[in-house]
Structure 1
Amino acid sequence: MHTAAASMGSLPELLRNHQPRLRAICRRMCGPDDDPDDVLQDTYVEIVRHLSGFRGDSSFMTWATAVARSQLNRHRRRHRRHALRDDAIDTASRSYPALLGRGEREPELQACTDSLRASLLTALAELTELDREVFVLRELEGMTAPEVASALELSVPAVKSRLHRARRCLRANLDGDPRVVELR
């Protein structure tokens, strides 16, 4: 049986080429109680284990994202937690480092950026896990609705509905904050 994996080149090269984006996806999909590095490592193991089964029906990145999500769910089942801890902002800032860039800035601008980051992370933590995953993949990773649907095993209308719900929730949680631009 011919698989798409056979024509994709060497596995180390494939993983090296997709590693930055896959790492970012794992970090963004993980909630404050999840360890994105553990999820990423488990994802690599599963990719290696099941690469021969990759048929090429979707892009490798879409397939790898679905593998990462499966590993995240497996990780959550093994490490059940029932609520966000009081230090959710500190923990979440490690999970979502790309929401707002960091760099050398004037202290006033840095303080405003840090405050806005905290507000955004708090608002993201209010979303359900699935709504947060849809929002992260669509808005922060730039995946198309069909790619998100394939990665999360949802229909395209379900992705659009969850994205709308996530935007509405974020808009409600951030309403009145002049630092936040209108969410589509």
Structure 2
Amino acid sequence: MDEPVRPPRVLTGVLVLLVVLLGAAVVFLRGQDLAEQARADDRRAALEAAGTHAINLVSLDYKTVDADMGRILATSTGVAQEEYKAGAAKLKSTTAENKVVQHGVLRATGLVSMTELTARVLVVADVEIRWEGSKTPKQERFYRWSMDVTKAKGVWLVSRAVQVV
């Protein structure tokens, strides 16, 4: 009886090595794909955070000014949040006294730069302002900001907003 033919040990070793290398390449490429997806998610989240904050800034109603201010504070952090807190009382009283109703529309956001925890975003928003009970005609205003956005506890928040011309 003839003994079965066995592949040489070298060939078996090469095949095992190729399978291991192929597996390592798949794991590496999958890790790269996941890392790129995480970066894309962060870019999208930073842009969305800046856009949401801009809309919060330009959408005010004297009937809901406390909730409106709450949204501004909830989408900000650091220096920006402190500035909004410092001006909140005046903004509330001015909005209520003048019966201001502002409706904002986000026009565009663009990423200028980004690191793992910070981003700079340019934001364009327009607003229509009216004064309830006043004969003053509606006004349209156009805002452009450079916003610094910071990732804090996994959430992107505006840490600085500067109007640009």
Which of the pair has more CA radius of gyration? 2
Which structure shows the bigger proportion of residues in helix conformation?
1
Q: Return the TM-score normalized by structure 1.
A: 0.26
The structure showing larger relative contact order (alpha-carbon pairs under 8 Å, at least 6 residues apart) is: 1
Which structure shows the bigger proportion of residues in strand conformation?
2
